[in-house]
Amino acid sequence: TLTEDDLVSNWGETTILRSLEEVAALKETEGGPIIVHGSATLNHALSDAGLIDRYHLLVFPLLLGAGKRLFSTTDKDTQKLKLVEHEVYANGLQKNVFDVVR
Asked whether residue 9 carries a pLDDT value surpassing 90, the answer given is: no
- Bridge partners of residue 100, in order along the sequence: 81
> In this structure, what are the phi and psi dihedrals at residue 86, rounded to the nearest 5 degrees?
-150, 135
Q: What is the pLDDT of residues 14-73, one digit of tens each?
A: 888 889 999 999 999 988 888 887 788 888 999 999 999 999 999 999 988 888 888 888
Provide the pLDDT for residue 78: 84
Nearest to 47 by CA among 81, 82, 86, 95: 81
Distance (Å, whole) CA 32 – CA 43: 19
CA–CA dist 21, 37 (Å, integer):
20
| Single-letter residue type at 89 | Y
Domains defined along the chain, listed by start = 4-100 (3.40.430.10)
Cα-Cα-Cα-Cα dihedral sign, residues 70, 18, 29, 24: positive
State pTM to two decimals. Answer: 0.80
What pLDDT score was predicted for residue 72? 82
